[in-house]
């Protein structure tokens, strides 16, 4: 289940969007207003910005979050009404656009398209690297069709790396993204989990988790 941060102009529209996302199997969080405190603890798999009537989505709130937490690669959906389309410039910052009113089926399709466009996750929520596959909907992992028994955090670490391939992440960034901003473990936590994941991936795929000396790790897809 992916976390979704919902940025809304008012509580009612944010709650409504949260209910729709929950029906699709996501875990929505209402993000705070600027200056009201930190964003939710876990890195989101998706962000949805809900504009007020006749207004564009609150882009400045999302830009602030991106600057603070390195979220530039997170897929983003803007939702506006027809009048909000007139404020066109911010809309180019989104991976997908929803014009209200919309059906639950359209929301589901737009979410899938946004995630696929941003980080290669297919509509069926299966991401792969060669014969290594992760089913993000069922939390299952397999190599050549054979299941791999990951712990929850091992799976979360591999999922994050696989959905953000070919990019170097410092250990501190991985701690924040996978374990959450309120986790107080040290960088050794990341190293231990990387070793365990490599061991379970075996010779065929362990080398995809590349160590960048004195920096962190990269997943080679």
Q: Which two tokens stand for residue 87?
A: 């404020």
- DSSP secondary structure letter of residue 176: I
Closest CA to 56 of 24, 22, 91: 91
Q: Which two tokens stand for residue 130?
A: 């060669």
Instruction: With H, G, I as helix, E, B as strand and everything else as coil, classify residue 25.
Output: coil
Q: Could you give all domains of the chain from N- to C-terminal order, each with its CATH number?
A: 3-119 (3.40.50.2300), 126-219 (1.10.10.10)
pLDDT in tens, 103-112: 887 888 888 7
Name the pTM for this structure: 0.51
pLDDT in tens, 57-114: 566 666 776 776 666 677 888 887 777 666 555 566 677 888 888 888 788 888 877 8
Q: Tokens 């791999």 map to which residue?
A: 148
Residue 55 has pLDDT above 70, yes or no: no
User: For the chain, first and last CA: distance in Å?
Assistant: 23
Mention every residue, 6+ apart, whose C-beta is less than 8 A from residue 164. 73, 119, 219
* DSSP element (H, E) containing 156: helix 152-162
């Amino acid at each position: 289940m992916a976390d979704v941060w919902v940025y809304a102009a008012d509580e009612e529209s944010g709650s409504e969007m949260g209910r729709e996302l929950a029906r699709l199997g996501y875990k929505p969080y209402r993000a705070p207003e600027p200056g009201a405190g930190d964003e939710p603890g876990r890195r989101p798999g998706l962000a949805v910005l809900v504009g007020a009537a006749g207004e564009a989505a609150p882009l400045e709130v999302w830009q602030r979050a991106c600057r603070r937490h390195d979220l530039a690669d997170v897929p983003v959906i803007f939702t506006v009404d027809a009048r909000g389309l007139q404020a066109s410039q911010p809309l180019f910052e989104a991976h997908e656009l929803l014009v209200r009113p919309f059906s639950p089926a359209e929301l589901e399709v737009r979410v899938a398209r946004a995630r696929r466009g941003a980080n290669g996750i297919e509509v069926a929520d299966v991401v792969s690297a060669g014969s290594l596959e992760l089913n993000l909907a069922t939390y299952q992992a397999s190599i050549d069709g054979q299941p791999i028994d990951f712990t929850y955090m091992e799976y979360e670490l591999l999922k994050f790396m696989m959905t953000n391939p070919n990019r170097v992440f410092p250990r501190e960034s991985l701690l924040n993204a996978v374990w959450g901003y309120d986790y107080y473990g040290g960088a050794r936590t990341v190293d231990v989990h990387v070793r365990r994941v490599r061991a379970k991936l075996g010779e065929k795929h362990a080398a995809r988790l590349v160590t960048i000396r004195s920096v962190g790790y990269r997943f080679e897809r």
